[in-house]
Structure 1
Amino acid sequence: MLPVAALHVDVSYAGCPPGVTVDVSAFLLNEHGKVASDQDFIFFNQLTRHDQGVELDLQKSRFTLQLDKTTQKLQKIALVLTISQVAKKNQHFGLLGSITVLVKDFLTGLELACFSLNTHGFNEAALIMAEIYRHQQQWKFRALGQGFIGGLQPLAEYYGVDVGEGEAATDEAAKITPVNLSKITLEKKGQSISLEKQGDGLGEVIVNLNWNSTPIKVLGNTKTGASIDLDLACLWEFNDGSIGAVQALGGHFGALHHFPFIELDQDDRSGQSLMGETLRINGQHWPMLKRVLIFTFIYDGVPNWSHVDAVITIKAKMQPDIEVRLDSHRNDQFMCAIAMLENINQQLRITKLVDYFSGHQAMDKAYGWGLNYVSGTKS
């Protein structure tokens, strides 16, 4: 029996080789072992179900559960791991060393339950690791380690999730958009992808930055950490030659529905926000834009890119998520140009950069922007 309702559930794995991407997900199940709706599927495209007290932090592979918020219809939470691009890369959990699920008291951090699984010899690409289930008005933890043939899609369909290509139903009385399980990772510097042009345009383009704010280094037998304030920002250029920047530094947060039609949602100085920092681009005005340079810089803290685990995720309507990780590092530089968004024949082309610079001026010069810079602070 779980003695508290507020929990952290951490999922970790050892021995993951390069090129293998492991996704953490959860299914909120009714008495029949099925989801009541597609909103009960928590994964990389749908991180929260606030009315049921469930949140997923992708960077930490951590679920935050507030079981006292759940409705009586929710009887079970299945915690699963899947490997991306199963058919393309023929990967499986036998490539990993072991997987651990750790349940902790949210307030005290006290360990309540732990399950470790040796995955050597596993041919499956999906695992139902554990369940948190309701029994006689109490919540309990059950370790499973059950392999499942296929990846995330067949597992989602097994639990009753409507998986499709993202096209909405035509019935006005019940428009349903099937869950889009697509995710594309730009793995190599210079790699590009163009988003398909939709009939009504791009809609809103969302660029999210998430990172580990307290990276840990091991020095001898001592663990030390220093908080890092990482800022998301962009340089923009319109077809008419107008140029500028959107960033918290200097208070240039932009505007979504007014020029420059790009807006920064917040300045997460602690790095503790589940959603990190997000830039929003008004896709209705994309034809006016020429290019947008997405970058990040360390406003406070020493350069420690190799431990910060930063990643941007770019989302657009009815498109697969595009993921760019800062997977090469220059710990002597404070700024990283992550990706270039370009208007190519009215389509959006995204190119991975991951180039490091000493500051704004050096980056501006490298990409030929032409802005003048002065020292600035954040209010």
Structure 2
Amino acid sequence: MNVFSRGQKGKLTDLGVGSSFSVDLDVNAPGFAVDVSCFGLDNADKLADDRYMVFYNQLASPGEAVRLTLGSPARFSVNLDALPPSIAKLVFVAAIDGAQTMRALGSSSLTLGGALRFPWSGADFGDEKAVIVAEIYRRDGQWRFGAVGQGFNGGLSALLKHFGGTEAAPVRGAAPASLQPAPAAPKISLSKVTLEKRGDKVSLDKRAGAGFGRIHVNLNWNRSGMASAPPPQAPQKGGLLGRLSGVVNDAMANKRRSGGIDLDLGCMFELSDGRKGLVQALGNAWGDYERAPFIKLDADDRTGASTNGENLFINGDQFAQIRRAIIFSFIYEGVPNWSATDGVVTIAVPNQAPIEVRLDGGGNQMMCAIAMIENQGGQLQVTKMTDYFEQQGQTSAHEMMDRRFNFGLRWKTGRKD
């Protein structure tokens, strides 16, 4: 693999890169958040079409020319053939969300497929809040790559302005204004809601004449540097059985030793008719999106290596059928405590600002109740919980969590296999 330094350029054809490839941004930001983005620019280096800014609030451009998969590293899947002639350059940037500056970053890198790697770190910068990492641009009919590594004063909003875009003003509450395309001055919502303290909450209204759509709950965490971390101590089997779910679980039975961090995502739910249960991989209680409980867990990552993390989907068009859901996670293997995970849950509701909850507390407890999603008179209310639980005697951490939130499920031993 070629290793590029700042300022180095090369034709994609000379690097053996075709029209479809991935760009991975691995940003080492200990203890704080960094947002990565891709700007699709015209020949004047301006964002002439807001649909070609790909970031946490807009994960794909038209035709899937650029798609962002958030994780560690973050991955941009690029198909140059799907770009219109008006897009002459793709610029990959990273911006800090918070009080830190670029100098606080550790060793980071951008990797283009299997062809090249561009390493950089906070030592290359000062008090900048953002960095233009690299660009892929068209010149003389050929696509080329350039390693930029240029610090930028100001965060993502300032970068948007630098490239000729303008930020849409937020509306009442947490939800941002809708994207408002305008050829001369695109309007882009950069709003993101972070629930900082336990008990912080935000309410979202349904869009006029519609439900909440497909609600995406993503759990992700930092996998770097943890391969040698000792696995957590397995509790005695306690398991659980929801009256409706059929089977569920004991955490840690017959663990698979992947060597990486493996967190499992799930939820306990209560429907509007009083039925209760849970959705999680242990016990194969995957749920159902189209029928009750209108909550479905995506495939479980048994290795802990997937950069997509763990994903849960809630049918927001059937939200009237749901009274409440506790989103929870537990450490399946690979790390001794929550502080080592740098975990974050993002709740993405279509056409609303994404809601972020960080797992920023706890000790060596195995279970964390992360957030409560409630139906409050038709509004979707999200409350940060971050309550941590551990097994007490023969009572599992799952059951301790159940008691705390008064779901009243019945429990017996279960497992993934």
Name the TM-score, length of structure 1 as normaliser. 0.78
1:82 aligns with 2:95: yes
Q: 2:203 aligns with which of 190, 194, 203?
A: 194
Q: Is the 8 A contact 2:70 2:308 kept in 1?
A: no
Q: Which has more strand, going by share of residues?
A: 1
Change beyond 3 A, Cα 1:115–1:133: farther
Letter matched to residue 348 of structure 1: L
Change beyond 3 A, Cα 1:308–1:315: same
Equivalence map 1:302-341=2 (5 Å): 303-331=336-364, 333-341=365-373
Q: 1:12 aligns with which of 27, 42, 53?
A: 27
Aligned residue number for residue 292 of structure 1: 325
- Mapped to 1, the partners of 2:224 and 2:125 lie a distance apart of 32
Q: Gapped runs of 5+ residues in structure 1?
A: 86-90, 171-176, 220-224
Change beyond 3 A, Cα 1:50–1:62: farther
After superposition, the C-alpha distances for 1:286-321 in whole angstroms (9 at most, x for unaligned) are 333321100112344454433323211012233211
Aligned length: 356
1:230 aligns with 2:263: yes
Q: Secondary structure at the match of 2:27?
A: strand
Change beyond 3 A, Cα 1:318–1:140: closer
- Mapped to 1, the partners of 2:415 and 2:134 lie a distance apart of 47
Q: Is the 8 A contact 1:9 1:101 kept in 2?
A: no
- Mapped to 2, the partners of 1:105 and 1:258 lie a distance apart of 42
Letter matched to residue 144 of structure 2: W
How much does 1:253 deviate?
1.8
1:208 aligns with 2:218: yes
Q: Secondary structure at the match of 1:250?
A: coil
Q: Is the 8 A contact 1:26 1:78 kept in 2?
A: yes
Change beyond 3 A, Cα 1:179–1:255: farther
Aligned residue number for residue 29 of structure 1: 41
Letter matched to residue 167 of structure 1: S
How much does 1:65 deviate?
5.4
Equivalence map 1:139-154=2 (5 Å): 139-148=144-153, 150-154=154-158
Q: Secondary structure at the match of 1:251?
A: coil
After superposition, the C-alpha distances for 1:151-210 in whole angstroms (9 at most, x for unaligned) are 32342244355643433779xxxxxx9543111111222222222454334333221112
Q: 1:131 aligns with which of 121, 128, 135?
A: 135
- Mapped to 1, the partners of 2:104 and 2:342 lie a distance apart of 21
- Mapped to 1, the partners of 2:25 and 2:403 lie a distance apart of 43
Aligned residue number for residue 44 of structure 1: 56
Q: Secondary structure at the match of 1:355?
A: strand
Aligned residue number for residue 376 of structure 2: 344
- Mapped to 2, the partners of 1:233 and 1:141 lie a distance apart of 42
- Mapped to 1, the partners of 2:106 and 2:224 lie a distance apart of 23
Q: Is the 8 A contact 2:71 2:309 kept in 1?
A: no
Equivalence map 1:90-105=2 (5 Å): 91=99, 93=101, 96-97=103-104, 102-104=109-111
Aligned residue number for residue 166 of structure 1: 177
- Mapped to 2, the partners of 1:316 and 1:68 lie a distance apart of 29
Q: Gapped runs of 5+ residues in structure 2?
A: 1-9, 169-175, 230-257, 392-396
Q: Is the 8 A contact 1:293 1:339 kept in 2?
A: yes
Q: Secondary structure at the match of 1:306?
A: helix
Q: Percent identity?
A: 38
